[in-house]
């Protein structure tokens, strides 16, 4: 039996941050990470394996190996198949036993397979797991093909479709409007206008009904619900992910909606000395407080720090009481980002909101080289004018701008707080201080209230 003070099961961002943080906080404690495969892939990096960047799937996208050894972290390649929570023992695939003082479950997520689509698991149908070996084999097969159907219009589907199209392949993208859950319709439409080219055919608001097989029982067409047939040489299912929690649940841990593991504000489960973080742990929406299946590395790593800080004593209360859902992506040379709730989803939840959209230049004056149009949308509660959502389209600085807006949402700031926002501006780096888009959008909302008083 191998003994460890702090045992972490998983190999993704949450697990690695937990291990590094545990090493920093508890240098006298032994830290062990058990991961299923030697090489790990960051999900948001996988689409770019299939594009002109040609990153090799053989690379370890999460540097847990040599770095772990240098930090004194014991790294074990094994698959945990069962946990005895009463006796604090985890069992490996070949019968190896691992005892622990504190256990952190960071088992992540696995691709969701849509069983409502006939032949969803047939030959020539690929998914997007975080397993390097699978992605490597998929990469070798896909690169030889010319026509591919991508089912799913979330971030992974949109990004894979875009990268494959850049490499000259003919792509059929099937699903609702682009990134529907992250952006309002006007932002999705701008994304479509940039992304759709002669290499991408978008079957908008269509749903796959069946994967049609050829004589070799290999995917050759996608049959849509309107009986339209989409010819292809392979199908990529970008149909989301589900928590990888079966082992933990079968071992007796408490589950919640979407088969997530129950956790409290300290990331503790119902089992003594057992914590859960990342995609496998329960998530609630920051605004609606509903349980949601959002899976983000930024949330996972924040949870890792909270869990490790509270392993032995309560030292840190989780400052975020739900995920704000903060995203960013790039289409062509244009960045799209969002945080919080969309105006459309707010209305579905019967949340009265007001919004303002500002379009400006991200340099000043606009004739400066590399200037990019920048669109900022703020969404606020109608009653208190608290900011609960934001969306941005622009250049390379969009990613950092949405991070600022994420903090604004998380700290429950309102539009009047933003009127006092002090920002560093420079002609080559930002919009003009006289028309900074976040402040301008806030002022547009504020004047609705001030004008009535």
Which are the contacts of 239, defined by CB distance < 8 A and separation ≥ 6? 111, 112, 113, 114, 127, 151, 152
pLDDT tier, 61 (very low <50, low <70, confident <90, very high otherwise): low
On the question of pLDDT at 182 being above 90, the answer is yes
Closest CA to 277 of 46, 106, 453: 106
Q: Are 295 and 109 in contact (CB under 8 A)?
A: yes
Q: What is the mean pLDDT of the chain?
A: 92
Give me the mean pLDDT over the 266-270 stretch.
95
**335-450: CATH class:** alpha beta
Question: pLDDT by residue (tens digit) across 79-123?
Answer: 999 999 999 999 999 999 999 999 999 999 999 999 999 999 999
Question: pLDDT by residue (tens digit) across 384-440?
Answer: 999 999 999 999 999 999 999 999 999 999 999 999 989 898 998 889 888 899 999
Give me the mean pLDDT over the 277-304 stretch.
92
User: What CA–CA distance (Å, rounded) separates 161 from 155?
Assistant: 10
Task: Locate the domains of the chain by residue range.
Answer: 2-36+78-109+242-309, 125-239, 335-450
On the question of pLDDT at 52 being above 70, the answer is no
User: What CA–CA distance (Å, rounded) separates 20 from 37?
Assistant: 19
User: What CA–CA distance (Å, rounded) separates 173 from 304?
Assistant: 35
On the question of pLDDT at 248 being above 70, the answer is yes
Q: What is the dihedral of CA 332, 338, 344, 348, to 10 degrees?
A: 140
Sheet of 219-224, strands arranged across: 208-213, 219-224, 229-231
Mean pLDDT lowest for which of 71-75, 291-295, 384-388, 403-407? 71-75
At 71 the pLDDT is 72
Q: Which one has a higher pLDDT value, 242 or 44?
A: 242
Question: pLDDT by residue (tens digit) across 356-387?
Answer: 999 999 998 888 888 889 999 999 999 999 99
Per the DSSP assignment, residues forming a β-bridge with 83 are: 90
Looking at CATH, the fold of the domain delimited by 2-36+78-109+242-309 is given as FAD/NAD(P)-binding domain (3.50.50)
Same topology between domain 125-239 and domain 335-450:
yes
User: What CA–CA distance (Å, rounded) separates 254 from 280?
Assistant: 12
Between 3.20.20.70, 1.10.10.10, 1.10.3720.10, 3.50.50.60, what CATH number should domain 125-239 receive?
3.50.50.60
At 63 the pLDDT is 57
Q: What percent of the chain has pLDDT above 90?
A: 74
């Amino acid at each position: 039996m191998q003994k460890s003070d702090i045992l972490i099961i998983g190999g993704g961002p949450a697990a690695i941050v937990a291990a590094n943080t545990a090493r920093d906080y508890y240098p006298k404690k032994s830290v062990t990470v058990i991961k299923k495969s030697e090489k790990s892939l960051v999900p948001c990096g996988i689409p770019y394996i299939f594009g002109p960047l040609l990153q090799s799937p053989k690379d370890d996208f999460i540097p847990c190996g040599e770095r772990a050894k240098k930090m004194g972290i014991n790294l074990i390649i094994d698959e945990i198949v069962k946990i005895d929570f009463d006796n604090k023992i985890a069992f490996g695939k070949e019968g190896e036993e691992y005892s622990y003082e504190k256990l952190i479950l960071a088992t992540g997520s696995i691709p969701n397979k849509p069983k409502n689509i006939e032949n969803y698991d047939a030959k020539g149908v690929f998914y997007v797991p975080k397993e390097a070996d699978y992605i490597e084999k998929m990469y070798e097969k896909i690169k030889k093909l010319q026509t591919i159907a991508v089912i799913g219009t979330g971030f992974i589907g949109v990004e894979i479709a875009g990268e494959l199209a850049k490499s000259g392949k003919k792509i059929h993208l099937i699903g609702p409007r682009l990134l529907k859950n992250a952006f309002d319709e006007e932002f999705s439409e701008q994304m479509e206008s940039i992304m759709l080219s002669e290499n991408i055919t978008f079957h908008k608001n269509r749903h796959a009904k069946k994967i049609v097989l050829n004589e070799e029982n290999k995917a050759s067409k996608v049959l849509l619900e309107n009986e339209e047939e989409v010819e292809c040489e392979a199908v990529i299912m970008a149909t989301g992910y589900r928590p990888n929690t079966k082992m933990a649940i079968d071992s007796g841990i408490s589950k919640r909606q979407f088969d997530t593991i129950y956790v409290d504000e300290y990331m503790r489960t119902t089992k003594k000395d057992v914590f859960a973080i990342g995609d496998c742990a329960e998530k609630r929406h920051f605004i609606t407080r509903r349980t949601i299946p959002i899976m983000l590395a930024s949330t996972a790593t924040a949870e890792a720090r909270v869990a490790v800080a509270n392993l032995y004593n309560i030292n840190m209360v989780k400052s975020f009481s739900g995920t704000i859902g903060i995203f960013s992506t790039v289409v062509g040379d244009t960045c799209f980002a969002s945080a919080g709730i969309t105006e459309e989803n707010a209305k579905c939840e019967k949340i009265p909101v007001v919004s303002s959209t500002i379009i400006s230049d991200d340099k000043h004056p606009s004739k400066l080289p590399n200037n990019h149009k920048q669109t900022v949308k703020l969404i606020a509660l109608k009653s208190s004018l608290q900011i609960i959502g934001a969306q941005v389209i622009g250049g390379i600085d969009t990613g950092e701008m949405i991070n600022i807006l994420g903090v604004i949402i998380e700290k429950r700031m309102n539009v009047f707080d933003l009127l006092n926002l002090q920002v560093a501006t420079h002609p080559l780096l930002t919009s003009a201080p006289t028309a900074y888009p976040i402040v301008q959008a806030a002022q547009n909302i504020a004047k609705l209230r001030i004008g009535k008083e």
